[in-house]
Structure 1
Amino acid sequence: MSFIPRSCHQEIIKVDAIVVGLGPAGATAIRLLSEAGLRVVGLDRAVFPRPKICGGGVSSRAITFLPKGWDEIPHTVSTGVHLIFGDHSPVMFDIGYPIAYQFDRCDFDWFLLDRARLAGGEIRQGETIRSLVWREEKFSLQCDSGPTYESRFLIGADGVTSSVLRFLVKSKRDDSDGARPLKNSSLHMYPAAEVEISTQTTQRLSDVLIDLSSVSGGYGWSFSKSGGKKNVGVVGFVKPLKRPLETLRLFLDTFPEREIFQDSRGSSSAWLIPDYSRFDAHGKIPGLFLIGDAGAMVDPFLGEGIYYALMSAARAASDLILHRTSPEKASRSYAQWAHSIFREFSYAHKLASVVYRFPGIYFRLAQRYPQVLSLYGSVMTGKNDYRSFTRIIGKNLFKLPFRKAVLKFRQNRLLS
């Protein structure tokens, strides 16, 4: 796989679009724009293939955004959900069809980047941004090495701590230049931690496992991967984790399937999940698109990010192609779409506030009505959205005996 070599010349190269970040969102945007005949350059400070622990779970609804050949990447298939709460017997529900695919992020990201290159995208790895400004209706980006790129369109796909957003926040702009005040909304995040563990068996012992009792204000999870590996992690949405790695260690010590772990564990990794509710950077600068984690495209209930990364990349590419002559229209169209996604996230946030604040009540609901777990599958396959999920949970919650439900409510509140 060949890439553009670094250059010592500080020349100015004009392109149709600049993409910063070569993860799933950035690589997808490059591929789609290149397939449409645009000249696109993509940059990242990392060198691929890169090791990456976090993530790897791709919901079934995301498959439509993947290029052909994705099924050749080693992966496992999840068809069911196991819900755990303390010493109670787990509630299990098998959907009967794939709800998620588990990939190694190193292989997954490399595949998407290779497809972007084959489509004609110009790829620069190991590059650090030296300067980035928006002036006279165009972006000018200079790296530590190589030329300066100029374009009317810039796609930020460089994660929750987006350097694109940081540079543009610092950049001085007059109100007369058409840009509205821009804030660094990435300061509001949810910490999470995850580790990849080798097991003593290559058989899939369970599908998606969700533990509601081990993490206050959030949940712990695990899913099986190819090669007898498991990804185990923790996140807090109602109560952000103060020490995510320590919380992960405690979760591993009480993990239901800990007997299958080998003595050696992989290195743990902590990262941040963006808070959509405090993100207001969409549509502020003509020609700017913030996609994936950089655009706070992570749902606040399951923490799913890859689906929204791929979808936001596809939407940004579509708006850019449709409004090539008007960066302002392109950004405004994308911002309207992003805000519609945030409205969907508001229902996911309401659901998280109930489920993770009062997990005992929710678990009891799942015990009585196991089909509630099918809602996870319906969301991950795209058959339902969080609005209908929330409505169904609320409707069934009132079917529980009122007196006992109130006692459970108070008990959960005292424990939280």
Structure 2
Amino acid sequence: MSRFDVIVVGGGPAGSTAAREMAAAGARVLVVDRAEFPRYKACGGGIPLRTEKLLPFPIDSVVEDSVSLLQVSYQGRSRFVRDSGQPFAHMVMRERFDQLLLEQAKKAGAEFRPGTVVREVSLDGGVTVRAEGFEAAADYLVCADGAHSPVGKLAGLGEGIAECAAWEVEVRAPAVRRLAYRNTALIELGYRPWGYAWLFPKREVLSIGIVLPPDQAGDMKDHVRAYIDSLGLGSAEVEIARGHKIRFRRGGERIANERALLAGDSAGLADEFTEEGISYAVESGRLAARNVLRSLGGGSLASYQADVDREIMPELRAARQIGFMFYGMLRRAPRPWMFASSKFPYLWDAFFAVQRGESTYAREAARVPLLPGIAQRMLDRE
């Protein structure tokens, strides 16, 4: 049986980031993933510019487009465009982006075993993972196996984390239509009680999708088809259509014990305003690496949860407050709220600053002292 310092399950942004930083520090790291890489990943592929600042290597080679224009509409009406003046997000295809991050982990010394479905985890005095025809042992386990996180469940972590549903398609539109959306992200509001549809431009396709509460998952395909039709793309070829979950950690849900921890989507580290999680996946991967390296030699990983609570959760709480107020106002007074959003620049200027890493949700929320109280009163009325 092979022996490592740490086994990372999942080769996405959280797992690859953790593996790279641990391997670069001299740890013996094994990354296992159920898929063969590169692999398609259902995701809008919009990466806030702040994500790039968390990585010590360039990602230019996998950037499909960089957007500085945001077009917002409500049920096809009240459309307006905000110009950030400079890019606030990169657009990537996740198979290429994730492959880049994994290659960096391998260059740092991490071993990679694809096509491996972990079926059993033992945390008795160490870590043992078992798959069909495979067994490996380590001191610690990083579960970065996505929003479903079957390995996290085997490790006894992640219970009670909230979730929503998303459906995404890759549309191969004519070149002239793709060019019309260059440098522009589209957001369509008006779904109840909250949620939005999006169009993100890529080189060869348009990524189009929707995110909604889980009890509306059955309506997502129809909503996306209607949105595609409203854009005049009904005759374009849909290459891939796939659903996925997004998880939201809201409180003290357990994401670490002595031997194992959850990172990225497994831990529910996505914000409830934009539903974005890639930047938090990278950040949590760094925190995971820091805690594993600190614990090598006999320490516990339980401190990882405290680090996440201190360094990531304030952002997620602030994003939830902002999101609840935004969607709540939109639901109660859609036309006045859309008018106000289009005429007063503060909201979108603050949004762009957060996406570029020039500000934070927590900092922007603190500029509106009444926001937590307003959001809580709205929540109490739901």
TM-score (norm 2): 0.88
RMSD, matched Cα: 2.5
Structure 1 spans left out of the alignment, 5+ residues? 1-11, 170-181, 397-408
Q: What are the equivalent positions in structure 2 for 1:294-313 lying under 5 Å apart?
A: 294-313=266-285
Structure 2 spans left out of the alignment, 5+ residues? 372-377
2:228–2:234 contact (8 Å) kept in structure 1: no
With over 3 angstroms needed to count, the CA separation of the structure-2 counterparts of 1:65 and 1:105, relative to structure 1, is same
Output the CA distance in 1 between the equivalents of 2:211 and 2:259. 34
Output the CA distance in 1 between the equivalents of 2:214 and 2:220. 14
Look up the match of 2:170. Answer: 196
Matched, 1:139 2:112: no
Shift of 1:261: 6.2
Shift of 1:183: 5.8
Output the CA distance in 1 between the equivalents of 2:146 and 2:348. 31
Output the CA distance in 1 between the equivalents of 2:76 and 2:228. 15
With over 3 angstroms needed to count, the CA separation of the structure-2 counterparts of 1:237 and 1:301, relative to structure 1, is farther
Shift of 1:21: 0.6
Counterpart amino acid of residue 46 in structure 1 = A
When Rg is computed on C-alpha atoms for both structures, the one with the higher figure is 1
1:216–1:239 contact (8 Å) kept in structure 2: no
Shift of 1:95: 1.1
Shift of 1:216: 4.3
Shift of 1:286: 0.7
Aligned residue among 8, 31, 43 for 1:42 = 31
Shift of 1:346: 1.7
Aligned residue among 331, 336, 339 for 2:309 = 339
Look up the match of 2:338. Answer: 363
Output the CA distance in 2 between the equivalents of 1:354 and 1:237. 16
Output the CA distance in 2 between the equivalents of 1:185 and 1:314. 24
Look up the match of 2:144. Answer: 157
Q: Percent identity?
A: 26
Output the CA distance in 2 between the equivalents of 1:242 and 1:142. 35
2:35–2:116 contact (8 Å) kept in structure 1: yes
Look up the match of 1:404. Answer: none
Matched, 1:245 2:221: yes
SS at match of 1:226: coil
Aligned residue among 41, 65, 73 for 1:84 = 73
Q: What are the equivalent positions in structure 2 for 1:183-262 lying under 5 Å apart?
A: 184-186=159-161, 188-200=162-174, 201=176, 202-205=178-181, 207-214=184-191, 216-227=193-204, 229-236=205-212, 241-254=217-230, 258-259=231-232, 262=235
TM-score (norm 1): 0.81
1:215–1:247 contact (8 Å) kept in structure 2: no
**Equivalent residue pairs, number:** 366
Output the CA distance in 1 between the equivalents of 2:295 and 2:308. 17
1:197–1:231 contact (8 Å) kept in structure 2: yes
Shift of 1:224: 0.8
SS at match of 1:272: strand
Output the CA distance in 2 between the equivalents of 1:278 and 1:266. 38
With over 3 angstroms needed to count, the CA separation of the structure-2 counterparts of 1:121 and 1:389, relative to structure 1, is same
Counterpart amino acid of residue 277 in structure 1 = R
Matched, 1:270 2:243: yes
Look up the match of 2:254. Answer: 281
Look up the match of 1:386. Answer: 361
Look up the match of 1:103. Answer: 92
SS at match of 2:313: helix
With over 3 angstroms needed to count, the CA separation of the structure-2 counterparts of 1:362 and 1:338, relative to structure 1, is farther
With over 3 angstroms needed to count, the CA separation of the structure-2 counterparts of 1:238 and 1:92, relative to structure 1, is farther
SS at match of 1:243: helix
With over 3 angstroms needed to count, the CA separation of the structure-2 counterparts of 1:58 and 1:20, relative to structure 1, is same
With over 3 angstroms needed to count, the CA separation of the structure-2 counterparts of 1:240 and 1:347, relative to structure 1, is farther
